[in-house]
Amino acid sequence: MATERAALLIAALACAALPQAGRAQAFQCSLPGAVELPRIEPERPRRLPVTGYTLALSWAPEFCRFREDQPRHTRQCSGKAGRFGFTVHGLWPDSGRSWPQWCGGPDLTAREARANLCISPDARLIARQWEKHGSCMAQRPATYLKVTRILYNGLRWPDFVRISREDGLTAATVRKRLADANPGWMPEAIGVHLDGKGWLEELRLCYDRRFMPRACDARRFGTGDGQPVKIWRGL
């Protein structure tokens, strides 16, 4: 319990220590009255020392581009529950070049999952992220999800629709725009991941063990600075 309180405190202090600019990205989001959670079948555990963290953020307009009518993604992609920009794919503990995974822990409750549905609008994904990643950094799912909210809500977002219209847009531009909106962040701590056709799929923000920004390794950094980037606006 003391370890969990320490994790929450460190995350909160780390976000407070970074000067903030502007307001957080705002979404129209309605929460469901009931949440159904699937049973997640655990895989082989990989218990490794935690050396840092990655906050993976999906660009929802691109994710939903061909999924608007899929029942599996109704909440995120139909527009009925709101419109989303960057959503939380997951918060992943790192261990050098590997990932601690499937460490075991108590089951996630529907109430706990519901608290994160406006930043990660897929209950199945939340459940799997807790089982696969969160169980290796917290004893309880509520702690893992709260740390995720603290980190996400501590970010400030530039207008990515405007950025998408910039001439000569590259991965370096994306990194710079986000770093400029978040004093204390540096471009080398921001991973940019594209699909095979050059469309922005995901950002991966790299943290050290105290939840302060640190330079990403090559895998988390993703696309090189000079790579052209396209951003689907969902229009």
Kindly report, residue by residue over 173-219, the tens digit of the pLDDT.
999 999 999 999 999 999 999 999 999 999 999 999 999 999 999 99
Give yes or no for a contact between 110 and 52, defined as CB atoms under 8 angstroms apart: no
Q: Does the predicted TM-score (pTM) go above 0.85?
A: yes
First-to-last CA distance in the chain?
A: 46
Per residue in 66-102, is it b (16+ CB within 10 Å) or e — as a string? eeeeeeebbbbbeeebbebbbbbbbbbbbbeeebbbb
In tens, the pLDDT along 109-122 reads 999 999 999 999 99
In tens, the pLDDT along 39-96 reads 999 999 999 999 999 999 999 999 999 887 788 888 888 877 778 899 999 999 999 8
Dihedrals phi, psi of 98, to nearest 5 degrees: -125, 180
Residue 22, pLDDT score: 40
Task: Enumerate the H helices of the chain as residue ranges.
Answer: 2-17, 60-63, 74-77, 110-114, 123-132, 141-153, 160-164, 171-181, 218-221
Looking at per-residue pLDDT, the higher value among 193 and 235 belongs to 193
Give yes or no for a contact between 177 and 158, defined as CB atoms under 8 angstroms apart: yes
DSSP code at position 115? T
